[in-house]
Structure 1
Amino acid sequence: MKKTLILWAALACACPGIAQKKHFSYQFYGFVRGDLFYNTRANQAPVDGNFYLYPLDHDYDSRGEDINATPNGSFYTFTTRLGIDMQGPKIGKAKTSAKVEVDFGGFSASTTMLRIRQAYVALDWERTRLLIGQTWHPLFGSVVPDVLNLSTGAPFQPFNREPQIAFTWRTGRFSLTASALWQLQYMSSGPEGASENYLKNSCVPELFLGADYRQERWLAGAGVHLISLKPRTSSTVTDASGNEQRFKVNERMTTFSCEAHLQYQAPSWRFAAKTLLASCLDHTALLGGYGISRIDPVTGEQEYTPMRHSTSWVNLTVGTRWKGHLYAGYTKNLGCSKALVSDEKYGMGLDIDQLCSFNLAFSYNLPHWQIGVEYVPTTAWYGDTNPANGKIINTHSVTNHRILGLVMYYF
């Protein structure tokens, strides 16, 4: 990390000279962020516990004590962020720009590492924009919760950045966006665990089509998303004699999701909401995945059925310098359209029937500072999977209480 900071310092010193190039301009930005948190039990929380999602189920030991009912907490600063926006010379009538944004939230076996958050180039005409590179997934969208937790509303709000080619067309108050996306840091689940291979072998990128309408303080929109995965390219089958045989298979799982969002922005308060019918969106930090609906007895080739979830959130913030944040999210497992023929399922949170969370936060905000505290109770209802429809039955609840302290310095 020391070498990385030296590199950025050298780049910052060099930029005044570089910026003298004709028609180029550069603007650095970022923040230093510290998160102090405490949980009453173990949780599904990637990024070393900073990216909080939901409480884990009971895990009883030989004496009937819940191993996961163990408090935990820590303090981290590795989500500190550095970025640069660049404006370049025109190409014909198109304005050119680029962005590079990094933080220290990449993980090796022993320490945090510098990672790319966003890296793209863009061409802007009067009514259209072409973006090529890595940036926010369109399901993350233009309406996002205002909370203190790093998870930014997940697992009810999609959270993902992917390499993509995105085209936006604007006319009056309307804008249309079409995107083709490929996976890299946020990956779908499957037989190999989380991997980009399922989309890579599919040869079909994720596809998104959405529309937004803006009028003064209002913003409303909707979108539809398609994902097509190839979970396996070969299978291994044990015959009656106990010998293993391998077969090339042609498997595919294709499904759609849709979303709608709304926001009202007043001078001293803001209301926002989003709802999704989510299908196989576990790579966007939502509950979801897929199961097996058929297995060929000879070759072992499998057919799949996606698990569907209804997920929604609402968010209200009041104030400017002293700000109150209220957020509520709810997810319901709707099951699948075909019966399951195997206990094997791929995804995140597929043994959860319902998930409910509330965020209550207060923050003090200055032009370059934010200091706040947040309380987040989250309850998950775990149970057994009904193979006839994929729904969760025989449920019991598990609750975690999370307290977060945050300090940020923006520049």
Structure 2
Amino acid sequence: MKRHLLLLAYLLTTACGFAQLKDFSYKFYGQIRTDLYYNSRANEETVDGLFYMYPKDKVYDADGKDLNATANGSFYTLYTRLGLDVAGPKLGNAKTSAKVEVDFRGSGTSYSTVRLRHAYLNLDWGKSALLMGQTWHPLFGEVSPQILNLSVGAPFQPFSRAPQIRYRYTNKAFQLTGAAIWQSQYTSVGPDNVKSANYIKNSCVPEFYVGADYKANGWIAGAGIELLSIKPRTQSKVGDKVYKVDERITTLSYEAHVKYSNENWFVAAKSVLGSNLTQTSMLGGFGIKSVNERTGEQKYAPIRVSSTWVNAVYGKKWKPGVFLGYIKNLGNDDLISDKLYGTGTNIDRVVTAGAELTYNVKHWKFGVEYTYTAAGYGSLDKSEGKIVDTHTIGNNRVVGVAMFMF
């Protein structure tokens, strides 16, 4: 940890030194963030509970007791972050800029290690701009909830930072966005429910996004279409024989969003009709719709999921807020097997309601948030491709946050 901090300090110092060159300017920023949380039961989550999704289903022990009905909680500073914004000299007619931002979340089960959040360069010609590097996935976009939970509304809200090449054209109040996107830290779920960037790497086709926005008088309203094409497997095994296979699943997803904000109000909503968006921390995935009996080569069908959230926050210093979210598994009647690959594939619906209160002054934020989330678990009905015979599992979550921003 000390070695990583020294290296980071050296890089920032070096960058600041370069920033003294002609036509360079820079801005160093960051935050110290502490998170204290409590859950009434075990949950699907990452970062040891900081990135919270939804409650786990019941799992019984030999006496019939629910092993997941156990409260848990902890305290972390992993989302403390440091960043550097750089404005460089013109390249032709384009203004140049760059950003590097890191936190200490780590990856997998390794915490308190430096992790790259954003790293990109940007060329701005005025009406048009070209970004290359890692930043927020376009489905996350400019409309996201203002809540304390670090999941920022996931799995109701798409959540991912991804390597991408993004082009934007702006004309007065209208903005068009097109992006080619790859996967790095946030990856698709595939066979054996394993997350991997190999599915899109073997595809040789990036993810594509096209969207349009209208921005005026505090309003943002827009919509977008996303295309994902991955190769789940390159080989199969039938008996003791191995075959090379050419498998691919290509899906389209759609989103619409709206936000209004002024000095007192923040009101926003987003709705997503998703197909296999597991790389954006959402529910869903895909299943099998046909199998070649000789080679084992499979064709796939996506699990379609509808997700909607609404968020409202009011105030300046004292800011109360509410968040509501709803997810519905729409299934797919092309499925021939109950073997599914994805996240929450045995869930019919998820409902959440949260309320928070934050105290905000210059450089400081203190807040507390309560959230209740209920997930409806069941089994797959292959005739309709939907989850049936459901039962509801609920979790109560309380989060306390203190932040110093500089």
| Same structural fold, with TM-score higher than 0.5 when normalized by the shorter chain | yes
2:345 to 342, 347, 350: 350
The aligned residue for residue 76 of structure 1 is 76
Post-superposition CA distance 1:4-30 (Å, at most 9, x none): 223333445555543320001111111
Distance 1:7 1:25 in 2: 22
The aligned residue for residue 320 of structure 2 is 324
The aligned residue for residue 49 of structure 1 is 49
- 3-state DSSP of counterpart to 2:113: strand
- 3-state DSSP of counterpart to 1:67: coil
Question: Which residue identity is paired with 1:206?
Answer: E
Greater CA drift, 66-75 or 187-196: 187-196
Distance 1:50 1:308 in 2: 27
1:367 paired with 2:368, answer: no
Distance 1:177 1:248, change over 3 A: same
The aligned residue for residue 201 of structure 1 is 202
1:287 CA drift (Å): 0.5
Distance 1:28 1:324 in 2: 30
Distance 2:204 2:19 in 1: 41
1:304 paired with 2:300, answer: yes
Distance 1:129 1:105, change over 3 A: same
Distance 1:199 1:342, change over 3 A: same
1:380 to 364, 371, 375: 375
1:266 paired with 2:267, answer: no
Post-superposition CA distance 1:128-159 (Å, at most 9, x none): 00000000000001111000010001110000
- 3-state DSSP of counterpart to 1:361: strand
- 3-state DSSP of counterpart to 1:6: helix
- 3-state DSSP of counterpart to 2:188: coil
Aligned-residue identity in percent: 53
The aligned residue for residue 37 of structure 1 is 37
Q: Runs of 5+ in structure 2 lacking a partner?
A: none
Contact (CA 8 Å) 2:277, 2:285: kept in 1 or not? yes
Post-superposition CA distance 1:287-321 (Å, at most 9, x none): 01000111111110000000001100000001110
Distance 1:88 1:308, change over 3 A: same
Question: Which residue identity is paired with 1:20?
Answer: Q
Post-superposition CA distance 1:221-241 (Å, at most 9, x none): 000000011101111001xxx
Question: Which residue identity is paired with 1:369?
Answer: W
- 3-state DSSP of counterpart to 1:144: coil
- 3-state DSSP of counterpart to 1:69: coil
Distance 2:75 2:226 in 1: 37
Q: How does 1:164-313 map onto structure 2 within 5 Å? A: 164-191=164-191, 193-238=194-239, 244-313=240-309
Greater CA drift, 13-22 or 146-155: 13-22
Q: How does 1:112-131 map onto structure 2 within 5 Å? A: 112-131=112-131
1:38 CA drift (Å): 0.5
Distance 2:360 2:183 in 1: 36
1:396 paired with 2:397, answer: no
Post-superposition CA distance 1:46-103 (Å, at most 9, x none): 1111000000000011111000000000000011011100010001110011110100
Distance 1:15 1:63 in 2: 61
Question: Which residue identity is paired with 2:311?
Answer: N
- 3-state DSSP of counterpart to 1:199: helix
1:389 CA drift (Å): 2.4
Contact (CA 8 Å) 2:226, 2:254: kept in 1 or not? yes
Post-superposition CA distance 1:344-368 (Å, at most 9, x none): 2111001010100111000000110
Question: Which residue identity is paired with 1:144?
Answer: S
Distance 1:81 1:56 in 2: 30
Distance 2:143 2:79 in 1: 22
Post-superposition CA distance 1:100-128 (Å, at most 9, x none): 01001113665431111110111000100
Distance 2:385 2:32 in 1: 44
The aligned residue for residue 241 of structure 1 is none
Distance 1:108 1:282 in 2: 16
1:379 CA drift (Å): 0.2
Distance 2:174 2:371 in 1: 36
Contact (CA 8 Å) 2:236, 2:242: kept in 1 or not? yes
Distance 1:328 1:180, change over 3 A: same
- 3-state DSSP of counterpart to 1:45: strand
Question: Which residue identity is paired with 1:400?
Answer: N
Distance 1:217 1:320 in 2: 16
Contact (CA 8 Å) 2:128, 2:168: kept in 1 or not? yes
The aligned residue for residue 149 of structure 1 is 149
Distance 1:362 1:93, change over 3 A: same
Contact (CA 8 Å) 2:106, 2:115: kept in 1 or not? yes
Distance 1:152 1:21, change over 3 A: same
Contact (CA 8 Å) 2:189, 2:279: kept in 1 or not? yes
Question: Which residue identity is paired with 1:156?
Answer: F
Contact (CA 8 Å) 2:333, 2:383: kept in 1 or not? no
The aligned residue for residue 136 of structure 2 is 136
- 3-state DSSP of counterpart to 2:46: coil
Question: Which residue identity is paired with 2:29?
Answer: Y
1:270 CA drift (Å): 1.3
- TM-score scaled by structure 1? 0.96
Distance 1:37 1:44 in 2: 15
Distance 2:228 2:260 in 1: 31
Aligned residue-pair number: 405
- 3-state DSSP of counterpart to 1:113: coil
- Cα RMSD, aligned residues only: 1.2
1:28 paired with 2:23, answer: no
